[in-house]
């Protein structure tokens, strides 16, 4: 429920659906949950309601498009409309309804106190979504959007894309200016919709347009808007801690109730109790708390289309050597291999020797295929890439144990994790780490992590098998002593 001594006078929750499932039901559940935890009002805005407004008639061409129930054009409009009704110390919180099974999680574990209080303390008095670890603007924004918004630069393409939700707005000049500009750009079909680029050629790294999110992200970077940072440079530890405790919550960062839990964990314990608490203590959880903060940039990468073209040439030429970027591209769709590589980056910051081993193995295997008269293409290259990564891992046993321990832990379902914690007090406490090492050695002796299993890339089936093995592993000593 709401707490005393708040900077917020009235808290208003906002969600939208177009009457289709599961969005309609999920939006209504969000509405009910918001009122239950202490919001002063909640609004489930529907497409039927929107059709009765002049806004619908003025923007019918876009709003009747199926994707995003009108490319999400309605989002900045319903927030702006609600904010104009608010008092000076009120807050409007918008959350997407979401695509998930009903009852999968509790929308609001509690009133989002930490997030709302932070919003009231920010210079701009609004927080526009969040950034994570992987989305890049250039990959998820069409070229015409960059051009029309005067943002067609390498820096803007390399910037992290700001996800458009959850959104927190309080009345301020900055809030109204941002929402009005966001809405104005979204009303331009060249910027918002999927119509092909006309103003300049599509950039090679482009994958898919993210519509209202792409527009809001560019605008957030241009104006120095505040947003939550859950990347490795931000509140990644607090984010991971909350995620591990709420693994059942789909896309946890997109739900304001859980974002607020992350905020509370990232801040000093006494932050909201102190009279001298300053918003700058919220760094690195929040971006742009100080003027002229640099954009969060991703490293320059070679577009996938270019990597694929290069690989086709390399595979056709005996002895040609690939680069680590080619290997990463080849395994990017394999959820099992990718998960292990993610763990590797956490424990070993310098991977030069690792990638050299992998590249050498791939090059030698490709040369052998040519010597045997084969003409390997991309399907065979993907298999060779997985083999190369496994070969490189085997050359670094001091890393592999930690990699596999983290990988196996990430595969466990909630039942298996709870059982392990009940017996061994967790992975990093008591003898839990040593026992998990022994369990990994046991799994290595089975065919559970065979090359064929990894090539299939079915991490869902692997999760079930590893969890089943762990439960059997835990009760095995009991059987032996009975």
Which pLDDT tens digit goes with each residue over 160-206?
999 998 999 999 999 999 999 999 999 999 999 999 999 999 988 88
Residue 290 in domain: no
Q: Cα–Cα distances in Å, from 15 out to 76, 182, 473?
A: 12, 18, 46
Q: DSSP state, 159?
A: B
What pLDDT, on the 0 to 100 scale, is given for residue 1? 52
Element housing 353 (H / E): helix 352-371
Residue 316 in domain: yes
| Total H helices, total E strands in the chain | 24, 6
Q: Which domain holds residue 97?
A: 11-282
What pLDDT, on the 0 to 100 scale, is given for residue 430? 63
What pLDDT, on the 0 to 100 scale, is given for residue 177? 98
Residue finishing a domain among 251, 282, 313: 282
pLDDT tens, residue by residue, 276-323: 999 999 999 999 999 889 999 887 777 787 888 888 888 887 777 888
Question: Are residues 320 and 275 part of one domain?
Answer: no
Strand spans (E) along 246-399: none
Residue 388 in domain: yes
Residue 298 in domain: no
Question: Are residues 322 and 278 part of one domain?
Answer: no
What pLDDT, on the 0 to 100 scale, is given for residue 477? 55
What pLDDT, on the 0 to 100 scale, is given for residue 479? 40
Long-range contacts at 276-284 (CB < 8 A, ≥ 24 apart): 277/121, 279/118, 279/121, 279/122, 279/123, 282/118, 282/121, 284/229, 284/233, 284/234, 284/235
Residue 343 contacts by C-beta under 8 Å, 6 or more apart in sequence? 402, 403, 406, 407, 410
Residue 4 in domain: no
Question: Are residues 381 and 350 part of one domain?
Answer: yes
Residue 288 in domain: no
Q: Report the Cα 347 to chain-centroid distance in Å.
A: 21
Question: Are residues 357 and 467 part of one domain?
Answer: yes
Residue finishing a domain among 235, 250, 282: 282
Question: Are residues 139 and 91 part of one domain?
Answer: yes
Question: Are residues 374 and 231 part of one domain?
Answer: no
Sheet holding 126-131, edge to edge: 41-46, 11-17, 91-94, 163-169, 126-131, 226-229
Question: Are residues 434 and 371 part of one domain?
Answer: yes
Question: Are residues 343 and 251 part of one domain?
Answer: no
The answer to whether the beta carbons of residues 192 and 70 sit under 8 Å apart is no
The answer to whether the beta carbons of residues 367 and 312 sit under 8 Å apart is no
Residue 296 in domain: no
What pLDDT, on the 0 to 100 scale, is given for residue 2? 55
What pLDDT, on the 0 to 100 scale, is given for residue 481? 38
Look at the block and give the residue holding tokens 């995620």.
243
Residue 292 contacts by C-beta under 8 Å, 6 or more apart in sequence? none
d(CA 356, CA 362): 10
Question: Are residues 149 and 188 part of one domain?
Answer: yes
d(CA 243, CA 238): 9
What pLDDT, on the 0 to 100 scale, is given for residue 39? 97
Structure pTM?
0.77
Residue 62 in domain: yes
Residue finishing a domain among 221, 249, 282: 282
Question: Are residues 368 and 278 part of one domain?
Answer: no
Question: Residue 22 burial by CB count (10 A; 0-12/13-18/19+): exposed, middle or buried?
Answer: middle
Question: Are residues 347 and 221 part of one domain?
Answer: no
Q: What is the mean pLDDT of each run of 10 residues along the chain (482 residues)?
A: 77 95 94 96 96 96 95 98 97 94 89 97 97 87 97 94 96 98 98 96 88 98 97 90 88 95 95 91 94 86 80 81 86 87 77 89 90 87 92 86 84 87 76 84 86 87 91 68 38
Question: Are residues 445 and 352 part of one domain?
Answer: yes
d(CA 55, CA 62): 11
Backbone angles phi, psi at 193, to 5 degrees: -90, 180
Residue 306 contacts by C-beta under 8 Å, 6 or more apart in sequence? 204
Domain count, the chain: 2
Question: Residue 303 burial by CB count (10 A; 0-12/13-18/19+): exposed, middle or buried?
Answer: middle
The answer to whether the beta carbons of residues 186 and 215 sit under 8 Å apart is yes
């Amino acid at each position: 429920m709401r707490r005393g001594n708040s900077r917020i006078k009235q808290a208003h929750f906002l969600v939208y659906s177009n009457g289709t499932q599961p969005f309609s039901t999920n939006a209504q559940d969000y509405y009910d949950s918001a009122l239950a935890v202490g919001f002063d009002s909640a609004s489930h805005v529907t497409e039927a309601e929107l059709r009765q407004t002049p806004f619908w008639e003025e923007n019918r061409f876009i709003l009747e498009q199926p994707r995003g129930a009108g490319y999400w054009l309605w989002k900045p409009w319903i927030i702006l409309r609600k904010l104009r009704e608010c008092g000076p110390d009120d807050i409007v919180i918008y959350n997407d309804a979401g695509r998930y099974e009903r009852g999968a999680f509790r929308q609001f574990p509690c009133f989002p106190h930490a997030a709302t209080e932070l919003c009231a303390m920010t210079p701009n008095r609004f927080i526009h979504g969040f950034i994570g670890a992987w989305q890049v603007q250039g990959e998820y924004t069409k070229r015409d959007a960059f051009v029309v918004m005067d943002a067609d630069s390498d820096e803007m393409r390399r910037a992290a894309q700001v996800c458009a939700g959850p959104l927190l707005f309080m009345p301020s000049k900055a809030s109204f200016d941002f929402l009005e500009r966001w809405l104005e750009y979204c009303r331009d079909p060249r910027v918002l919709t999927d119509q092909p680029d006309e103003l300049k050629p599509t950039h090679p790294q482009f994958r898919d347009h993210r519509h209202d999110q792409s527009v809001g992200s560019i605008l957030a970077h241009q104006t120095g808007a505040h947003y939550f940072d859950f990347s490795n440079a931000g509140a990644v530890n607090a984010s991971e801690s909350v995620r591990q405790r709420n693994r059942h919550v789909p896309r946890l960062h997109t739900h304001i109730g859980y974002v607020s839990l992350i905020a509370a964990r990232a801040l000093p314990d006494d932050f909201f109790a102190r009279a001298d608490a300053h918003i700058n203590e919220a760094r690195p959880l929040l971006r742009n708390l100080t003027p002229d903060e640099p954009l969060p940039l991703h490293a320059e990468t070679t577009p996938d289309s270019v990597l694929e073209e290069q690989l086709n040439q390399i595979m056709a030429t005996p002895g040609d050597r690939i680069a680590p970027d080619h290997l990463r591209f080849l395994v990017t769709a394999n959820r099992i291999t990718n998960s292990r590589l993610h763990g590797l980056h956490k424990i070993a910051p310098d991977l030069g020797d690792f990638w050299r081993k992998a590249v050498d193995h791939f090059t030698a295997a490709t040369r052998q295929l040519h010597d045997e008269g084969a003409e390997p293409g991309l399907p065979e290259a993907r298999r060779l890439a997985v083999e190369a990564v496994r070969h490189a891992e085997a050359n670094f046993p001091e890393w592999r144990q930690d990699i596999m321990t983290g990988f196996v832990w990430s595969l466990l379902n909630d039942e298996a994790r709870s059982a392990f914690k009940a017996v061994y007090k967790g992975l990093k406490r008591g003898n839990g780490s040593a026992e998990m090492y022994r369990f990994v050695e046991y799994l290595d002796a089975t065919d559970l992590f065979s090359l064929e299993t990894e090539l299939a890339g079915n991490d869902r089936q692997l999760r079930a098998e590893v969890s089943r093995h762990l439960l059997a592993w835990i009760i095995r000593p009991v059987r032996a002593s009975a």
